[in-house]
């Protein structure tokens, strides 16, 4: 890639930095920082706000506005449990934000297959590449998540931090990012590896990384959406109670193909019997 082309990526990340940091922080606090640290700070501020805003909004809706509609009263997590989840997530957030900052640095330096404008490849190839990207991420996160369970030291020292939330009344949208920081980064790494294999639209990559905060809030709310083949909260709640099923991320395909799927509808049938 030529310097002029790479400058497009740099200009775009600089623009994102100015939009987020310029609106939320005094200029003298961030403008003198090197570009990489500006990017990290932007990701940290935006990630924190997105996590807290989506979590509070989600909890307010399902636990108060729709109290006893989606979640029985005795299944609502305590404020203490949710505050602990926020505490764990906020300790890890600075480390989480290092990953998208690193991916942007690699993109700016031309080390990946990213492209800056859809017009560079055309809409049809763009949609094909996006589909391949999502399939790769689904595959990668499934296996990363499964190995975090199967490799005992990884589970004991990393993933167990997240699995203390193992009952419906301990799970909440705030549990979505309540991981050991290394665990959270490992599960997001497929997003970055994909950049070296699959041509990827830069803005789409950044957007999908931040979508993780919203998606993980959704799959920890214990509400079974029944939207096949989406790996919704009904499936993920089973993962938290059995530890051996439903490792997938966005869809149930990997679990279905590899025999680790357990359907919430089957669980409901057993309760009725």
Q: What is the pLDDT of residue 1?
A: 64
Q: What is the pLDDT of residue 26?
A: 94
Asked if the model's pLDDT at residue 272 lies above 60, the reply is no
Encode pLDDT of 149-203 as tens digits: 999 999 999 999 999 888 878 889 999 999 999 999 999 999 999 999 999 999 9
DSSP 8-state symbol, 67:
T
Chain length of the chain:
273
User: Which of residues 6 and 272 earns the better pLDDT score?
Assistant: 6
Q: What is the pLDDT of residue 168?
A: 77
Q: What is the pLDDT of residue 245?
A: 95
CA distance 41 to 25: 10
Encode pLDDT of 91-148 as tens digits: 999 999 999 999 999 999 999 999 999 999 999 999 999 999 999 999 999 999 999 9
> Among residues 196, 164, 157, 197, which one has the least CA distance to residue 180?
157
Let me know: does 40 contact 98? Beta carbons within 8 Å: yes
Let me know: does 218 contact 232? Beta carbons within 8 Å: yes
Q: What is the pLDDT of residue 250?
A: 93
CA distance 268 to 5: 55
> Among residues 264, 265, 271, 268, which one has the least CA distance to residue 238?
264
| Consecutive H or E run containing 114 | strand 114-115
CA distances from 175 to 75, 96, 264 (A): 15, 15, 20
CB atoms within 10 A of CB 131: 11
Per DSSP, what are the bridge partners of residue 200? 114
Asked if the model's pLDDT at residue 74 lies above 90, the reply is no
CA distance 75 to 171: 9
């Amino acid at each position: 890639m030529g310097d002029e082309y790479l400058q497009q990526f740099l200009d775009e990340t600089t623009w994102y930095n100015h939009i987020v940091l310029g609106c939320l922080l005094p200029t003298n606090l961030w403008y003198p920082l090197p570009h990489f640290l500006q990017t990290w700070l932007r990701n940290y501020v935006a990630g924190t706000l997105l996590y807290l805003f989506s979590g509070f909004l989600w909890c307010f809706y399902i636990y108060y506005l729709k109290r006893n509609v989606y979640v029985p009263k005795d299944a609502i997590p305590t404020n203490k449990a949710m505050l602990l989840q926020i505490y764990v997530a906020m300790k890890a957030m600075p480390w989480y934000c290092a990953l998208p900052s690193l991916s942007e640095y690699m993109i700016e330096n031309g080390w990946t297959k990213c492209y800056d404008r859809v017009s560079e490849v055309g809409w049809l190839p763009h949609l094909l590449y996006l589909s391949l990207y999502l399939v790769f991420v689904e595959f990668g996160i499934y296996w990363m998540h499964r190995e975090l369970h199967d490799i005992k030291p990884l589970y004991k020292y990393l993933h167990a931090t997240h699995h203390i939330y193992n009952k419906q009344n301990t799970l909440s949208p705030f549990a979505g990012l309540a991981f050991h920081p290394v665990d959270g980064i490992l599960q997001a790494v497929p997003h970055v590896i994909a950049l070296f294999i699959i041509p990827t639209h830069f803005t789409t990559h950044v957007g999908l990384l931040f979508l993780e905060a919203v998606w993980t809030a959704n799959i920890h709310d214990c509400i079974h959406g029944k939207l096949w083949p989406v790996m919704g909260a009904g499936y993920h709640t089973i993962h938290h109670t059995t530890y051996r099923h439903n490792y997938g991320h966005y869809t149930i395909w990997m679990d279905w193909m590899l025999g680790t799927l357990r359907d919430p509808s089957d669980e409901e049938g057993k309760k009725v019997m």
